[in-house]
Structure 1
């Protein structure tokens, strides 16, 4: 086990806002790789978000590769808050009805996170990278909860609160 804490939840649950607040308090954090992948693909190929997301298997594999690389480089002794983590990929593979990558399936039984915080959903807010509707938002949230609950990692639901209160809620429950 290490000192890594996962911040996750369905689309538009306030993950990135929470992670950014933790970063502002001096904690080490990571970025969300799905959004980063979209940004990189757009910058290097000129593809639109729709074109990038249309190739779902390529998209999921690209995000997974970034996540694997990032987690391999993290210091296990450092307290780090991850904006999504490897198990999120399995939830998305299931949501999209795709066969999960073997690298993901091999890694999941060994995830070393100290704890996972699953943020309750906020009203769905549209942005350039988010393509889900409310029904998809709910289903992804359910799948994330199923996946993380099946792993040997403590899971804590985080209620809807003001961003500062949500961040403090998490800090008060670190192990």
Structure 2
């Protein structure tokens, strides 16, 4: 068991805001790799449409970044992850893609202390987010299905004012040391 807590939810659920606030309060956090990958590719001159044109390549690139990140984390350190490996499986399912063997292998041993699934906010569009409200709802459902199917402890987080939502999460964080691996 790791001491990692996942912040997940469909597009526009407030994940990045929660991660930013957790970091501001001094907690160890990670980044969302899909947005990071898009940002690094845009710097080279590629458009979001070009980046997302080959969904298999896009998902694999995001997955490889997530795998490297989780392998580098200290399993004993309290950390809040902006998405985790099971999110990749949900997106592969959403897109109708066969999951990468590396993902399936990693999920056999993936371990998360708790998963905070943020209830959806009204969909906000930006340069990297291409989903509509139907996709938002479908992806959110797949995320819950995947995490619960893997036996992860999922805590649903209702829509609340931002600081109250953060306090809601922090009041449900397991503060005892994680059991030995």
TM tier, smaller:
over 0.9
- Measure how far apart 1:151 and its partner are: 1.2
Aligned structure 1 segments of 4 or more residues deviating by more than 2 angstroms: none
Aligned to 2:119: 120
1:89 aligns with 2:88: yes
1:53-132 mapped onto 2 (5 Å cutoff): 53-132=52-131
Q: Deviations over 1:108-146 (max 9, x none)?
A: 121111000000000000000000000000000000000
- Indicate the larger mover: 102-111 or 120-129: 102-111
TM-score, normalised by the number of residues in structure 1: 0.98
The separation in 1 between residues aligned to 2:48 and 2:139, in whole angstroms, is 19
The separation in 2 between residues aligned to 1:31 and 1:102, in whole angstroms, is 23
Return 5+ residue gaps in structure 1 as ranges: none
- Measure how far apart 1:76 and its partner are: 1.1
- Measure how far apart 1:49 and its partner are: 0.3
The separation in 1 between residues aligned to 2:160 and 2:107, in whole angstroms, is 30
Aligned to 1:160: 159
Aligned to 1:133: 132
1:13 aligns with 2:18: no
CA RMSD in angstroms comes to 0.7
Total equivalences in the alignment: 174
The separation in 2 between residues aligned to 1:41 and 1:94, in whole angstroms, is 24
The separation in 2 between residues aligned to 1:140 and 1:115, in whole angstroms, is 19
Q: Deviations over 1:49-94 (max 9, x none)?
A: 0110111000000000000000011011110000000000000000
Return 5+ residue gaps in structure 2 as ranges: 175-181
